[in-house]
Each structure stands twice: as C-alpha cells, then as structure tokens.
Amino acid sequence: MSPRHDAAGLLGPGGELSKALPGYEHRPSQLELAREIERVLETRGTLLAEAGTGTGKTLAYLVPAALSGRKVVVSTATKTLQDQVFQKDIPLLRDTVGLPFEAAYLKGRNNYLCAHRFEAFDKSPAFATREEAALWPGLRDWALGTQTGDRAEADLPDAFAAWRQLSTTSETCLGSRCPLFEPCFVTRARRRAENADVLVVNHHLFFADLALKSRPGADGAAVLPRYEAVVFDEAHALEDVATDYFGVQVSSFRVDDLATDALSALPPSDERSGMLSALALTVRARAEALFTAAPAVLGVAANEGAVRLTPETGARLSAAADQFGEALAGLAALAAGGDEPELVSVRRRAGELAEELRFVLEASAENHVYWAEPRGRGLSLRAAPIEVADELQKRLYGSVDTVVFTSATLTAQGKFDFFARRMGVSLAGEGVRALAVGSPFDFERQAALYLPTHLPEPNDPEFPRAVADEVVALAEVTGGRAFVLFTSLRNMEAVHRLAAPRLACRALLQGERPKAALLDAFRAEPSVLFAAHSFWEGVDVPGAALSLVIIDKLPFASPGDPLVAARIDAHRARGEDPFSAYQVPDAAIALRQGFGRLIRTRSDRGVVALLDRRVTSRAYGRAFLASLPKMRRLGHRDAFRAFFEDGRPR
C-alpha cells in the first residue's frame, strides 16, 4: 500500500483530504478509528468502535472500506443517513480526492417506482384526496424521466398514499417473471450493487436480506449481492431492526394487499377470473371476521399498547383462524393452477400468510415472544425472538468474517459489555476488538447538565404540570431554541398542552408536520419543539438554534411492552438482575443519544436539563451520570441562567 493509499495518507496531517479541502481539520481520533477499521478489514474479525460526536466516523470507515479491495457493505440506521453517505461523503472521496472505487446504494424495493405498476396506474390514476391528485402531473413527469426511480428524488409528502399503487414490496413484486424485469429500476439498482466495491444500504434492507437468506427453503434468494465485510453505522439501533426482521407479522393490511392483488391478478376476460375474485373476497371477509374478533378476545384496546399472546389466548381465535386458513388454502390452490407471475405471487403469499398466522397463534416456539398490537385502524399479530444474539451467531457471523459495529453510543458506563452481549459478541473472543475514541468537543467548556431536584417523581400525577412550568421557565432564559424530549407521546401531548400557550416563542409539536419540515421551522425561528422517540437520535441542529435539550424522564423501555417484559423474564430466568443487567444500560445508551443532540460542533454551547429527579435521588442514577461526558452540573435555575448569561458577549 503506497502512503497515499492508506488511511493515514488520506486522513492524516498533510494527507490527500487536507490538500483537497481548504480548512480541513485533521482529527487524531478519526485517524485512530480509521486505522483500526483498516486493520480489521485486512485481518478479519469483529470490531466494536464507539466514536464520539464530531469524530468524523463516516470518512473513518469509508476510506478503509474503499481502500480494502474487498466488497464492503456499509449499513446505516436511516435512509437519510444512507443518502448523505452516498451523496456527500462518497463523492468527496471519489471526485475530490480521486480515490478509484465503485460505489452504489440500494434501498428497500418500495422506495423505487415500479415500472409495471406505473403503466397500469397511468391508464386510470385514482387518488384518495385532491391534494394527492394535484401532485400527479409533476410525479408523472418525474416517473417518465428518472434514471433511478428512487422516490427520494420525487420529493413526495411522507404520507402520499398513492405510492403504494406505484411501488412494490418483496411480497408483491413479480420478480423475473415481470415483463419489465430488465428495465425495472430495482433490477438496475441491484446490478449496480453487484458491481460496487462499497455498497451503502440501511439496516432494514440488510436484515431483510439476512432474514430472507436464512429462511427455510430460501433456495439462494437474496436481496443483497454477495459481500465480504459489513460496517454497521449507528449500530446501537441494530437490535430493534434485527428483532423485527427475524420475527413475523400478520396484519390486516397484509391480508388486504393480498386480496387487492388477487382481485386484479387476471383480466376479466379470463375464465378463472370470476372464481379467483370470489376466493379473494372470501379471504378478505374471513380475515375481517378474524381481525374484528381478535381485539375483544385478546384484550387489545385502540390507542393502548400491545398485549402478550400465549398458546391459551391464541387458541381462543382458532375457529376464526381456521376459517381464514381454509380461505387462504382455497385461494392458493386456484392460483397454483396457472403460471402467470401474478398468480404465482398470490399462491406464494397466501401460503406464507397461512403458515405465519399458525406460528403466531400457536405461540409456542422457544425463545420467542408473541403479541397483538393495534396498528392504525388495523391489528397486527406478531412474533419475535426475545434476544437476537443467537440468531446473529447463526445468520450473520456464520456468513461474513468481518463485521464492524460503530456508533457514537455503544457503551454504558464506559463499557462495551452490554452492547456486545446483545449482539452475541464475546469481547474475549478471538479476533474481537473494542475501541472507544472520544469526541473532539470540549464538553466541560461547551456544555452543562441541569439537574433540578424540586420536581416530583415522574409517576406523580403532578409531574406533567411541573415539567410544563420548568419548560416555560427555562425557555424564557434561552429564548426558546430548545428541544423537549419525552419518553411517551402521552406525556409529550400533556406537557405541550400545558406549556405551549405560556411560551413567549413558537411551540412546535412532533406529528403536526413531517419531521424534516419541523426541523426546518425550528432552525428558521427560535422555537421550542416538543418531541418523542423520533427526535432522540439522528437529528442534527448545529449552532445556537438548539441551545437547550430538556429530557423529561430517564428513557427506560416500557416494561408494558411485551418484548421488554420477555427480555426482563429471560434475565430473571438466568438468575440475573434484569434491572442492572438490561434496563439500566439500555436506558443509559438511549439517554446518551438524547444528550448527543445538543453539541454538534466545536462552537456549540448549551445545557441538557434532565428533569427526572431519580438520577440524583436513586443509587442507579450514578450509572446514568457515569455514562455522560464530564461536564459542569447545575442544580438551580439561577445557575442555569448564569450559564447562559456568562456566554453572552458583554
């Protein structure tokens, strides 16, 4: 490797990037991380690498990946980050620095325009609302001219319902039997992916691929091309995604999609069409009977959380499930009589639905948890592995010899043990290394932690009112410029209702408009944004626009969630204390994510206000404080005010 062609030659002082980019700042922690990733790509193994905010970890993994000569998949937590890596960081290395490597990105199938469905839709477009219809001329022009078919280019509202008619899922795509398979955008994106040295995907697609490949009877089916190494960015988010994809989900929506596709699978002139439609309508009616009966039988209430399923409760639905299963079998049998791609798809999906419904309602597989949850106006019956460590051993580590996990938050109390265990990695194992590189930010100078002790405990009925008072008082000092992050939508709404009318600045609320539009509004004018889960991570507001992050409660996962309850039980069954072994470290990592919203550049300055008094009144609070960077602590509003007054130019 020539000096230019190693991580130091590119990222180090006097390296290629410093020559190409005016104002480039060499960051020793970035180079340390890049060297470690370079080493693992060369020698094989597993690396757990925590890189504090501002390290520049994207380039720290992209440079070694591009130089490695191996086929590397980079997986990000969100499509936004995926687009950023592909559109910003990769061009920097290829075009500005001239690093010779092929890169491509791949998203889930439903992100691409389906050429086959577009042809049918264009003949008689139908929309749920006038607003959607008004977008059609522009969308049609884009569809006729796009080179990628990637929905992100079309700039559609998140909730654009007609996209379902214009795209496919792995369930509904006709695959190689499709008449437009060759010019299909998905086919072309996959070909680019096959030829790439660095392929950028997201965790959802990565685990969809892993789940598909390891399914019994998969017969070589795969979403991703063969790869030699994988780098997971934002790796703290992996467990949730893996749990979803290694589980199964039978929803009323899925049945409805199947019935809709079966109804249009054959032209009306086909003599089998009448019978197929009748069977599709029977499937729909029996599913409706099942999903209408299920909430009362299982005790699921609208707007409430999930309810755990047991073999006993599942059996109470067996009559309706058997009837539904018979209807699915009838549909599959008729569809098996033809080799049209639409019929082949209907037969496969009807068979899978019947099989998965049986699996969920039996609720008997070892190490699995089963539950029912409301989903919009529908219902979802679900099963998932309680822990994914064993699944990852079987499905991931057995098939790829180089795995890098990186994130700004992998450790709790400075240790990797919790994350490693959840991922099924033994820190003492051969070829396993762990590295934590610090943030270049000076938290002791730039940040402070406000820990008031005058609020009631979070389970006190007066807590929302006290939080609202505190938000109003703190926002008055900062002139807004604050995120208020909640652990539940209910508390978010309650506090917003109480505080918003009393604020001197604008109040924004998660859900009132799309996330990107909320962030634009937040940056444009001093505001207080009331938000829950989706703003705890992956949100970047550098500068004075965000000077205060208020966190209402320690972010413990709800023990009412069947998956969390099952994990707690699993720890207990092993003779461990679930609180210290699972709930506290899990919440500490989540808290670090929320904290990480505050300081995004070296010149940012601000306060995180943690309103949950348990962090100082309970012994376990120390584990949370030990997980945050060292910084000044403020106990009173006067000290809080002084922090901001000190920072103002005099």
Least distance to ligand SF4, CB of residue 162, Å: 15
Least distance to ligand SF4, CB of residue 177, Å: 8
178 binds ligand SF4, rule: CB under 6 A: yes
Token pair belonging to 359: 């699996």
Q: Binding marks (x or -) toward ligand SF4, 78..117, rule CB under 6 A?
A: ------------------------------------xxxx
Q: For residue 574, give the DSSP letter.
A: T
174 binds ligand SF4, rule: CB under 6 A: yes
Q: Binding marks (x or -) toward ligand SF4, 118..157, rule CB under 6 A?
A: ----------------------------------------
**The binder of ligand SF4 chosen from 41, 186, 354, 584 (CB under 6 A):** 186
205 binds ligand SF4, rule: CB under 6 A: no
35 binds ligand SF4, rule: CB under 6 A: no
| CA 619/CA 38 separation, integer angstroms | 41
631 binds ligand SF4, rule: CB under 6 A: no
Least distance to ligand SF4, CB of residue 250, Å: 23
Which residue lies nearer to ligand SF4 by CB, 108 or 538?
A: 108
168 binds ligand SF4, rule: CB under 6 A: yes
Q: Would strands 447-450 and 432-437 be described as parallel, antiparallel, or unpaired?
A: unpaired
| Three-state SS at 216 | coil
Residue 98: what are its φ and ψ, rounded to 5°?
Answer: 80, 30
Least distance to ligand SF4, CB of residue 191, Å: 12
Strand partners, 382: 249, 371
Which residue lies nearer to ligand SF4 by CB, 53 or 111?
A: 111
Strand partners, 48: 405, 434
181 binds ligand SF4, rule: CB under 6 A: yes
Q: For residue 438, give the DSSP letter.
A: -
| CA 295/CA 123 separation, integer angstroms | 40
544 binds ligand SF4, rule: CB under 6 A: no
Count of helix runs (H) and strand runs (E) in the chain: 30, 18
Residue type at 85? Answer: V
Distances (CA, A) of 83 to 44, 74, 89, 289, 435: 28, 12, 10, 42, 27
Q: Binding marks (x or -) toward ligand SF4, 228..267, rule CB under 6 A?
A: ----------------------------------------
Residue type at 644? Answer: F
Look at the alpha carbons of 240, 245, 247, 248 in this order and tell me if their dihedral is positive or negative.
Answer: positive
Residues 6+ apart with CB under 8 A from 484: 471, 492, 495, 499, 528, 529, 530, 531, 550, 552
Which residue lies nearer to ligand SF4 by CB, 242 or 266?
A: 266
Look at the alpha carbons of 113, 117, 119, 121 in this order and tell me if their dihedral is positive or negative.
Answer: negative
Which residue lies nearer to ligand SF4 by CB, 71 or 349?
A: 349
189 binds ligand SF4, rule: CB under 6 A: no
Which residue lies nearer to ligand SF4 by CB, 139 or 519?
A: 139
- Residue 561, phi-psi category: left (phi > 0), alpha (psi -120 to 50), beta (remainder): beta
Look at the alpha carbons of 31, 32, 37, 40 in this order and tell me if their dihedral is positive or negative.
Answer: positive
Query: Interacting stretch for ligand SF4, rule CB under 6 A, among 150-158, 171-179, 324-332, 584-592?
Result: 171-179
Which residue lies nearer to ligand SF4 by CB, 178 or 369?
A: 178
Count of residues interacting with ligand SF4 (CB under 6 A): 13
584 binds ligand SF4, rule: CB under 6 A: no
Which residue lies nearer to ligand SF4 by CB, 115 or 396?
A: 115
**The binder of ligand SF4 chosen from 8, 20, 180, 557 (CB under 6 A):** 180
Token pair belonging to 624: 């949370």
Comparing C-alpha atoms, which of 79, 93, 329, 310 is closest to residue 205?
79
Look at the alpha carbons of 510, 512, 515, 517 in this order and tell me if their dihedral is positive or negative.
Answer: negative
**The binder of ligand SF4 chosen from 184, 224, 503, 607 (CB under 6 A):** 184
> Which residues of this protein are in contact with ligand SF4, per CB under 6 A?
114-117, 168, 173-175, 178, 180-181, 184, 186
